[in-house]
Amino acid sequence: MDEDLLSQGDDREPSPWPRRLGVIAAVIAVAVGGIVYVTQPGHGRSAPLSAASASNPAAAPLIEPVPAGPNGIIGRTVPWEDSLRLPITGRQPVWYSPASGRSEAIGGLPADSSGYEFTRAVGGWAVQADAAATTACGDCAGPPRPVWFLADGAQSATPVGTADLVAPGVNAGALWLTSYPPAADPGTSAGVAREVSGTGALLAPLVTLPPGSAIDQATDRGLLLTAANEQAGTSVYTLWDPASRTSGRTFDDVIAASATEIAWTSRCAPTTCRVRLLDLATGRPSAIALPAGSTAANAAFSPGGAFLALQLSYGLDGALAMRLDVASVADGRLTAVPGTSVSSDALFSFGWPTSSDSLVAEFNFMPTMQLASWHPGASGLAVTVIQPGPTEASLIVG
């Protein structure tokens, strides 16, 4: 077994994450108790917030040295990138700097007890109040919720409209906002979608989606649609042209998509599984051969599309393990991210949360939470430990 393999928690198969809802990591975190906490700088104990800190939502998480034992990632580490800032969702979202351990309030977002959802888009994030807290009729559409665009590193978010669902557009700041009739079931109803800029300007005429559909990602070759109410084992994705209202190619088991690329899994050969890729601009297909005995559970394209981060699942000595690998899209070559071979439930979430090629992953080694960052080609990870404090919040990494 690799010396980096860490055994923490139960060995069980993790559930795949729906990619179009950036908030899912926060929901799962509450369910399993793997919650990232924010506390005042310089204090390692829970204590009531002072009057000053209660009015200042920019309290920073407590940073401690990287563990030298089994309760976290060990091995060679590198410094954090000074410019990297991550959103922390909650009643009042903040920007968090892993390099300094400090955080600052994100302006333009009113305090909301239900918390906020973050959806990664080109050049920033779409931000909405938590849908689960505003819908009172199960799977039906609730009242449309305000949507903001938060550019990478911006001091404040800009309102762009209201919608039930949000999806990334092709260009920087562009978002697709979809609304369904009040109290209608999105699984059977036709939503109306509109493309808006990061300032809320309408970029294209409104389109009516096929009944039961939702936009996963806008691409250079149309909208990538999936079922508005996904059922386990039935996720089919379709490229759909909003101008001609015609459907094109379909994909099963999509694990990553961007404006120019789609990645999906296919049946494994006797000894090797592959991830299939399609370059939408050229129509060129390619494939990434995975290490023997592994399968791809999830993936994410880097902002420029040169890399694909892969969450690989292994079976070792009857137990399940996970590892992060990064593939070069140009030649399919895989590189294991150092220090990320962990038990199946320790890898919490991962993504590319900035416009640079900074892969960020969150790990849950109960009771320790760790945040790690890696650049393709780097010899080690930048690692931060976040300890419990008085205010609950959740890091958004992709």
Token digits of residue 14: 């993790």
* 239 touches 224 (CB < 8 A): yes
Separation between Cα atoms, residue 214 and residue 223, nearest integer Å = 9
pLDDT in tens, 198-237: 999 999 999 999 999 999 999 999 999 999 986 645 579 9
Q: What is the pLDDT of residues 77-135, one digit of tens each?
A: 889 999 999 999 989 999 999 999 899 999 999 999 889 999 999 999 999 988 765 55
Residue 349 token pair: 């979430």
Q: What SS3 class is residue 265?
A: strand
Tell me the pLDDT band of 4, cut-offs 50, 70 and 90.
Answer: very low
Which residue type occupies 307? F
Residue bearing tokens 């601009």: 281
Check: CB of residue 255 under 8 Å from CB of residue 264: yes
Classify 364 as helix, strand or coil: strand
Residue with tokens 């962990």: 342
- Domain annotation for the chain: domains and CATH numbers: 24-395 (2.130.10.120)
User: Which three-class secondary structure state does DSSP give residue 247?
Assistant: strand
Residue pair 106/157 in contact (Cβ under 8 Å)? The answer is yes
Closest to 4 (Cα-Cα) out of 389, 385, 381 = 381
For residues 307 and 351, the answer to whether their CB atoms sit within 8 Å is: no
Q: Looking at residue 369, what is its pLDDT? A: 85
Please name every residue paired with 120 in a beta bridge, in sequence order, or none if there are none.
125
Most confident region among 45-59, 79-93, 149-163, 307-321 by mean pLDDT: 149-163
* Residue 384 Cα to chain centre, angstroms: 19
User: What does pTM read for this prediction?
Assistant: 0.80
